[in-house]
Amino acid sequence: GTLLYLNGQLLQYIFMVVLTTGLSFVLTYMFGYKDEETAEEKAETEKLVEEETTGNVPAALQDETIISPIVGSAVALSDVNDPVFSSGAMGQGIAIKPSEGVVYAPADAEVTIAFATGHAYGLKTANGAEILIHVGIDTVSMNGEGFDQKVSQGSKVKAGDIIGTFDSAKIAAAGLDDTTMVIVTNTADYASVTPVAEGTVAKGDAIIEVKA
């Protein structure tokens, strides 16, 4: 644009550029500006404010032993006939072929997700592990038939409490597999998540060791 002012107005043009640049700098320096917060940044800010005002700061993850929520036989996760689970994409863990239709709490925990269909539960333990218990493969398609949920989102449970029941015969009648997956969904937060169960698994048996 400078070439347009070579007709004798160049000095005025340069003066105008310097003046407007300086004025913009001064006004910005005096009054500043603020970027709009993204939804994620706003949520994080609100979380930090809540923690600061309530003192409810989450504790650091701790080593923990996850006990079996299902009575049955241990199955390696890699052998599950569902690539979403067998690939480890949802986290590391173990599967259990049930011999009875009861789902127990695998630790002292809070229920973070309780699917209305009763086929899956999400829990966060007192030590920070986030656990998904998924009863059967593709059992969401049963729309709750054969499942009885005993807890709801926000429920506090103790290790061994009954959180739901299911009917393996109805799952089989629907042409589905009742193999139940137990996944630590925040595996990436831990140094290691190791399945430790083999063969027959009883209520209260250790099935997964997590190391922070």
- The answer to whether 119 is a known catalytic residue is no
Question: Is-contact 206 158, C-beta < 8 A?
Answer: no
Q: Which residue has the tokens 């009883």?
A: 202
The CA distance from 64 to 211, in Å, is 7
The candidate with the shortest Cα–Cα distance to 172, out of 117, 101, 102, is 101
Catalytic residue among 134, 142, 163, 207: 134
- Annotated catalytic residues are 134
